[in-house]
Structure 1
């Protein structure tokens, strides 16, 4: 047997959003139905390096397929300035659940960007207006690109407003998509007035205080305790859907107001898996602002790795090596 080494280009080439979104939705469903195992995300804090490591293992049985894996990922905020490296790196080990053989080692950074975009698309499909056509994005980093690519797969997006403090990053984003969308830079308020809003920043002080009357918000940036992009009043007035209660209350968008007692379980409508399987309704005519609090789940990584591996094998992509010399 061989293990497949898949770099970022391989992951990108073998991950089409239309299929990935379906796989992520199946992962949410499997988790809700109790057909998945996902131990809590564990952290190793390294303040001396201004960073941390995160370990994310999972197994899921989606019915037609099952898969297992673990992602070893980090956030080191000084990486770019000191080492000319991305802030977030990552390695995904994708294993055969029947015998534990490591089928693939793949770039976890590209995988994370793809599956995070796909998770936002799943939530958008269930919680946004059916005729949503405008998308606002706060934060013009790498995740902004997959937010647009994924969300435009489930909604007919024609207008995009991108907001960031870095004008050069805004311009790069605009230049990338100018031939496909009516895209422009704008303020946070302008972005928040769109039909759909994705926030993808690492801030610890809320930057979005208001949104459109029926805006759906994908709160994607908060992935550690203390991070907080949306004002408490906005959250309290919204229909809040989370990806996982334990992770969200510890490190998601709701973690700060939840820890302070400003927001309680009564203010959380439910988990995305409950909506996916039909236990709870998605958007209704009575809904105003909806919020999807996404911390990023290990089952998403495993589902995405499954899609990548299957297509890489079909397309003869990647580099094979004999991991154990068997």
Structure 2
């Protein structure tokens, strides 16, 4: 038996967003039903390098398919300047639950971008107005691209407003999508007024004012993935129909972690988890709803579900590099 090595281009080629989105929906449903195992994300803090490692294992049984894996990912903020490396890098090991054989070792960085966009799409599908046509994006880094690509799969997005202090990043984003959308640069307030808003920044002080949000804006708060990060004003979190991906992760390192730790936000302020909405235990957007907000920290079940889609298509397309990782002669 051979393990399939999949590089970034292999992952991107085989992670079809139209299939990753329902796979993630299946993963949220499996987790809610109790058909998934996902130990808490563990951190190794390395303050001397201004970075950390994170391990994210999961198993899920989605009914028609099951999968298991673990992602080893880092955040080292000095990497671009000091080492000419990305701030975030990840490696995914995708395994056969029946016998633990490592079916694939694949690029986890591209995988993370794609599954993050797909998670926003699942939330948007349940929480945004049905005819949402405008999308605001705050933060024009690598995550912004899959936010648009994922959300445009499930809503008829026509207008896109992107905001970032890095004008070059905004220009690159506009150049990438100007043939497909009415895309332009704008202020944070202009982005926040759209039907859907995705924020993908690493800030630790809120930058999106409550007053800027549209009356029925759905917000995907995607940037906070560690303690201390905080993109939105507390007033927004208190006013919104607040949906989270996982209670333990969001209270520790999600958008709500700062006001939660300060006692500003309590369990009574949380509407529910996305999985509850996916399986129908709670309604998503209802006629009287105003602002809705999805607090996403990124779950290991999302990585495993995306890896499942990637691996199956890579095999079909004869992509990747098979190699012998396991000595099957040893019993």
TM range (shorter): over 0.9
Q: For 1:156 and 1:17, locate their aligned partners in 2 and report how far apart those are by CA, in whole Å.
A: 15
Match of 1:320, SS state, is strand
Structure 2: runs of 5 or more not aligned: none
CA RMSD for the aligned pairs? 0.4
> Which among 243, 246, 263 is matched to residue 248 of structure 2?
246
TM-score of the superposed pair, with normalisation by structure 2: 0.98
Map 1:45-84; keep pairs closer than 5 Å: 45-84=45-84
Question: Aligned pair 1:40/2:45, yes or no?
Answer: no
Q: For 2:156 and 2:17, locate their aligned partners in 1 and report how far apart those are by CA, in whole Å.
A: 15
- The structural deviation recorded for 1:325 is 3.3
- The structural deviation recorded for 1:324 is 1.9
- The structural deviation recorded for 1:209 is 1.1
Deviations 1:210-260 (A, max 9, x none): 210000000000000000000001111100000000000000000000110
TM-score of the superposed pair, with normalisation by structure 1: 1.00
Structure 1: runs of 5 or more not aligned: none
What corresponds to 2:19 in structure 1?
19
Q: For 2:126 and 2:206, locate their aligned partners in 1 and report how far apart those are by CA, in whole Å.
A: 25
Map 1:207-286; keep pairs closer than 5 Å: 207-210=207-210, 211-286=213-288
Q: For 2:165 and 2:246, locate their aligned partners in 1 and report how far apart those are by CA, in whole Å.
A: 31
> Which among 273, 283, 289 is matched to residue 291 of structure 2?
289
What corresponds to 1:314 in structure 2?
316
Q: For 1:41 and 1:281, locate their aligned partners in 2 and report how far apart those are by CA, in whole Å.
A: 28
- The structural deviation recorded for 1:157 is 0.3
What corresponds to 2:30 in structure 1?
30
Q: For 1:58 and 1:288, locate their aligned partners in 2 and report how far apart those are by CA, in whole Å.
A: 34
Q: For 2:326 and 2:147, locate their aligned partners in 1 and report how far apart those are by CA, in whole Å.
A: 38
Greater than 2 Å deviation, 4+ residue runs? none
Match of 1:248, SS state, is helix
What corresponds to 1:127 in structure 2?
127
Match of 1:161, SS state, is strand
Question: Aligned pair 1:325/2:331, yes or no?
Answer: no
Count of aligned pairs: 326
Match of 1:26, SS state, is helix
Match of 2:74, SS state, is strand
Q: For 2:86 and 2:194, locate their aligned partners in 1 and report how far apart those are by CA, in whole Å.
A: 30
Q: For 2:178 and 2:73, locate their aligned partners in 1 and report how far apart those are by CA, in whole Å.
A: 32
Q: For 2:324 and 2:163, locate their aligned partners in 1 and report how far apart those are by CA, in whole Å.
A: 46
Deviations 1:149-208 (A, max 9, x none): 000000000000000000010000001100000000000000000000000000000001
Question: Aligned pair 1:113/2:113, yes or no?
Answer: yes
Q: For 1:110 and 1:168, locate their aligned partners in 2 and report how far apart those are by CA, in whole Å.
A: 21
Q: For 1:117 and 1:7, locate their aligned partners in 2 and report how far apart those are by CA, in whole Å.
A: 20
Q: For 1:252 and 1:54, locate their aligned partners in 2 and report how far apart those are by CA, in whole Å.
A: 15
Q: For 1:201 and 1:140, locate their aligned partners in 2 and report how far apart those are by CA, in whole Å.
A: 8
Q: For 2:144 and 2:222, locate their aligned partners in 1 and report how far apart those are by CA, in whole Å.
A: 10
Q: For 1:174 and 1:322, locate their aligned partners in 2 and report how far apart those are by CA, in whole Å.
A: 43
Match of 1:207, SS state, is coil
